[in-house]
Amino acid sequence: MTEPDPLPELQAFLDELHQTLASDLTGDVAHYIPELATSDPHTFAISITTKNGRTFQAGDVDVPFTLQSVSKPFSYALALQDIGCAEVLQHVNVEPSGNPFNSIRLDEGRSVPDNPMINAGALVVSSLLLGKHQEKAFERLLDLLQDLTGKPPRINLNVLQSENSTAHRNRAIVYLMRNLNMLDQDPEKTLQLYLQQCALEVTCADLSMMAATLASGGVHPLSGQRIFDPAVVRAVLSVMYSCGMYNSAGDWGFRVGLPAKSGVSGGLMAVAPGQMGIAIYSAKLDAHGHSHRGVLACQRIAERLGLHLF
Ligand code: DON
């Protein structure tokens, strides 16, 4: 039986939304990673994939971009899946920090980063994956990406090298955490794994499929493969809801009401559990480091489709 459209005329709505926002070039591309500063600010893509694998798209959905922080829910999911929730919770908390993604403020008394969506937490997740898989850790992430996108994974070496040469703040965070015994792996190897995951490339079409896999409780909408346990998906979506949008997570939850994750390359993914995955790509960012048009498009999609969870 054919699945009914989530909204009659959804495709027409996306086309119109894309057209309305196409001329909005508010914000700025990320400059602290020099290679990202060269991103084309006009590129704009919207993709929605239902839990059954139907896709509705508008714009430049096949243009690749690096995942950056949108990789964090997936590396966290992998750690939960491979290491177990109880163990991971001992090393990374699930508390919104109210701080920007690159905050270097650590609670020395608690010895764990606030959550796995900020850089400090994601670096501890990298250390956990390294501890578990050693030199195979990146391969595990590549295999996961392949399962999620159905394509051979690609890494953008220019972005990787560009970020590596300017990653002074992330270096400071990871070395400080090593000093405080918040991670037990080599800080440089930990940083490299994190930077590699950030430099993985996807398209907007790929990203909505990845989001749809989370929307469907961990089962890939097209292949039918169970990629994550339901308990892992529940944990990841909970943390995305409270922490995925960093210090605007409260505002986002209030207005949009969906678990989401942004990245400084301009990717944004939101998940409507049991319904669909939403992905947007547009490189110009707002003050919080989220895609400006990504936030607007997502707000309007959630409103129009009535997706707010509450
Ligand atoms: O660690 C960094 O600074 C980047 N590789 C990722 C940061 C990021 O995407 C923040 N999200 N909006």
- Supply the pLDDT for residue 123: 98
Give the angle subtended at the CA of 232 by the CAs of 228 and 237, to the nearest 5°: 110
DSSP state of 150: S
Q: Indicate the SS3 state at residue 259.
A: coil
Tokens 């898989």: give the residue. Answer: 133
Contact 310, 45 (CB under 8 A): no
Start-to-end C-alpha separation, the chain: 30
Nearest C-alpha neighbor of 36 from the set 285, 210, 269, 248 = 285
pLDDT of residue 304: 96
Q: What value of ipTM does the predicted structure carry? A: 0.99
In ligand 1, which atom is closest to the CA atom of 198? 5
Residue 59 belongs to what H/E stretch?
Answer: strand 55-59
Contact at 8 Å (CB) between 292 and 286? yes
What is the pLDDT, as a whole number, of residue 213?
Answer: 98
Q: What is the pLDDT of residues 81-91, one digit of tens each?
A: 999 999 999 99
Atom of ligand 1 nearest to the CA of 262: 12
pLDDT, tens digit (0-9, with 9 covering 90-100), for 188-216: 999 999 999 999 999 999 999 999 999 99
Q: Hey, whose CA ends up nearest to atom 4 of ligand 1? A: 68
Cα of 117 from ligand 1 centre, angstroms: 10
- The residue among 70, 81, 307 whose CA lies nearest residue 207 is 70
95 is in an annotated binding site: no
Q: Which domains does the chain have, with CATH numbers?
A: 10-68+200-305 (3.40.710.10), 71-198 (3.40.710.10)
Instruction: Please state, in angstroms and as integers, the Cα–Cα distance from residue 212 to each residue in 38, 55, 217, following that order.
Output: 30, 10, 9
Pocket of ligand 1 (CB under 6 A): 68-69, 101-102, 119, 163, 170, 198, 262-264, 289
User: What is the pLDDT at residue 86?
Assistant: 98
Question: Between the CA of residue 146 and those of 37, 139, 142, 155, what are the distances in Å?
Answer: 27, 10, 6, 12
Confidence of residue 112 (pLDDT cuts 50, 70, 90): very high
pLDDT at 7: 72
Predicted structure pTM score: 0.97
185 pLDDT higher than 80: yes
pLDDT at 177: 95
Q: Per the annotation, does 281 bind a ligand?
A: no
Distance (Å) from CA 263 to ligand 1 centroid: 6
Question: Sign of the CA dihedral 89, 92, 98, 101?
Answer: negative
